[in-house]
A and B are shown apart, each in its own frame.
Chain A
Amino acid sequence: MARVELKHVSKSFGSTKVIRDVSMSIEEGEFAVFVGPSGCGKSTLLRMIAGLEETSEGEIFIGGDDVTDEEPADRGVSMVFQSYALYPHMTVADNMSFGLRMAHRPKAEIKDKVGRAAKILQLEEYLERKPAQLSGGQRQRVAIGRAIVRDPKVFLFDEPLSNLDAELRVQMRVELAKLHRVLGNTMIYVTHDQTEALTMADRIVVLRSGRIEQIGTPDSLYQDPDNAFVAGFIGSPRMNFLKATAQAGGRLAVGGREVDSPVRTTLEPGRKLQLGLRPEHLDQNEGIGLEASVEFVESMGSTSFVHATLASGETIIAERRSSQPRAGDKITLHFALASARLFGDDGERIR
């Protein structure tokens, strides 16, 4: 169990910079999730921590040691790959014991550690099978087992659930969270699925184009995003962004009407802004109202999402738990001012 620190880490492939000046620290025993759109560099960053990619600039520390130039094997990390990368010609037991065997550990120690990992992951009856004879979920557990057995300082997960079907994914999410509670190791987890991030993480690192957009607990990212990108990325369905213009006297013109500004900062009249409203916050019965005309309704069973057009012509999505309007209906969407988030034209959050 160790602390991971990145200091001004950058990486370039030739002339393209893919990781730009990233600095962060992940605490001992923390479950950190790197999340972001495709190509944001989250996998690259993970592989740099693992030592599979070279760091062009900056330093990486694991447990206080500078590992920037160290081989992957000497960093004390374990990795679970998206494709599991199990050795197809070895049994489950040999797969899990491979690292220990390469280090020439005594047989008794190997047997003990493999046995314990197999118990935690319920793999005991599969120990003599080969990967080809296992299901996707079982293979993934073997990959995790292989990582556990070496008792690393840091666990690294590279989109491990992406290859599983939806139902299994939900199941494994819970398993992994439980695993973290049982083992307590520092874990760094990469995913493109923000639901996974929100449910599993102690802290989330949101990345875009090689830069950190925000680091924080799931709750703080959800409630208190630093910018429009994070606000739009976290939470599903996506936050609505309405065009707003600052008016005199702490008011905003938005959605075809005027409202009070949700922030205390004085805003220059005429300044262009974006007002963020989450669909789930538009389900109120009272509060500020926006007139909208319903385009169509997505019914999800327990709830529905109403796609509507405002007087200003913008599209808005609102969640509706109780009533279900129909296409063509004219409705009023109510929200509490406190649930609105204000962003500048450049995306920066205004508090």
Chain B
Amino acid sequence: MVSGAGKRQRLALRIAAVPMGLLALSCLYPIFFAVNNAFKTRDDYMRDRFGLATQPTLDNFVQAWTRAHLNEYFLNSVIATLGAVILLMVVSSMAGFALASLRFPYRRFLFAVILSSLMIPVQVVLVPFMRTMLALNLVNTHIGLILSYTAFFLPFSVYMMTAFYSGLPRELIEAARIDGAKLLQVWWHVMLPLGMPALVTLAILNTLSCWNDILISLLVMQKHRTLMVGISALKGQYSDQIPLFTAGIVIAAAPIVVLYILFQRRIVSGIAVGAVKG
């Protein structure tokens, strides 16, 4: 904070707090809107758009879960997200270990290759990506989606783990090797446990990315839809049943909101570190 704010400035800040407060409320309103209306019956919603539910009901949630198949979609999202997050942790930790601590030819080149793929988001390779999935028989498979997520969220994770492992003293690995550990043992017994702080942060950030994804799941999984694909379909189907629709939205957003409330600091610092270093 800039020191010695004068009286006039303090007044100005107080005045500024008003529109800023309104902006903050607007940030919260949409979720409030969704949650609020999810509990309303149809008539309730017709009668009073803005107010709280007069006869709160859980029926919308039940309907969304069953009739609108959100239970299936939820499960698909969980499988894909969990699988991808775990795979990302393993692959990025191994790659980070090799890039940061081991000596081998073309090290810098290979690091650049991984990082440069950041320049290739899904849209840029949309058509060939689909054809690759078809050719590999991975369309409409959970494995296919997991591998796709991993491939598209890998560069950031590898970058973070490489940076993290570079900060570890090289003597630690030397001591382990003198102690007789093979490199795989060094990774499992030393690098993985020590990398946990960074890996947990990455796990949370990757969970956000995978859970929220729409384009990749649209391309890969039409049969076992993920939650976000399901919600986008919901909009067309139940456009006249707003409470049902909002219940679906709440179900889809709830895990992420919970994650944010629990891990806000980690999420913020993880993104900040990534942004600053990038």
A positions within 8 Å CB-CB of B: 50-52, 71-73, 77-79, 81-83, 85-89, 98-99, 102-103, 146, 150
Contacts and interface: CB of A to CB of B under 8 A. Distances in A.
A102 B175 contact: no
A150 B179 CA distance: 8
A51 B193 CA distance: 26
B172 interface: yes
3 A-B pairs with the lowest CB-CB distances in the bound complex, closest first: A99-B179, A85-B171, A85-B175
Given A52-B174, A79-B175, A87-B190, A150 B180 contact: yes
B176 A98 contact: yes
15 contacts: A52-B174, A52-B178, A71-B177, A72-B174, A73-B179, A73-B181, A78-B178, A82-B171, A85-B172, A87-B176, A87-B190, A98-B179, A102-B180, A102-B182, A146-B179
Contacts of A72: 174, 177-178
Contacts of B169: 83, 85
A47 to B, nearest CB: 8
Given A87-B172, A102-B185, A79 B178 contact: yes
A81 B182 CA distance: 20
B178 A102 contact: no
Contacts of B102: none
B174 A102 contact: no
Interface of B: 169, 171-172, 174-182, 185, 189-190, 193-194
A73 B172 CA distance: 14
A11 to B, nearest CB: 16
Contact of A89 (B171, B174, B193): B193
A98 B180 CA distance: 9
Contacts of A52: 174, 177-178
Nearest to A156: B178
Nearest to A71: B177
A102 B189 contact: yes
Interface of A is mostly: loop
Contacts of B181: 73, 98-99, 102
Contacts of A98: 176, 179, 181, 189
A78 B171 CA distance: 13
Which of B179, B185, B189, B194: most chain A Cβ within 10 A? B179
B194 A89 contact: yes
B263 to A, nearest CB: 21
Contacts of B175: 79, 81, 85-87, 146
Given A83-B169, A88-B194, A73 B174 contact: no
A88 B178 CA distance: 17
A16 B268 CA distance: 47
Contacts of A51: 178
A290 B6 CA distance: 76
B202 to A, nearest CB: 18
A52 B175 CA distance: 10
B57 to A, nearest CB: 50
B276 to A, nearest CB: 26
A82 B170 CA distance: 12
A79 B185 CA distance: 19
Nearest to A79: B178
B174 to A, nearest CB: 5
B171 A73 contact: no
Contacts of A81: 171, 174-175
A99 B175 CA distance: 9
Contact of B178 (A77, A83, A86, A103): A77
Contacts of B193: 89
Nearest to B171: A85
Given A73-B179, A86-B175, 15 more contacts: A52-B174, A52-B177, A72-B178, A73-B181, A77-B178, A83-B169, A85-B174, A89-B194, A98-B181, A99-B178, A99-B180, A102-B182, A102-B185, A102-B189, A103-B180
B37 to A, nearest CB: 48
B148 to A, nearest CB: 33
Which of B171, B180, B181, B194: most chain A Cβ within 10 A? B180
Nearest to B175: A85
A73 B194 contact: no
Nearest to B168: A88
B8 to A, nearest CB: 51
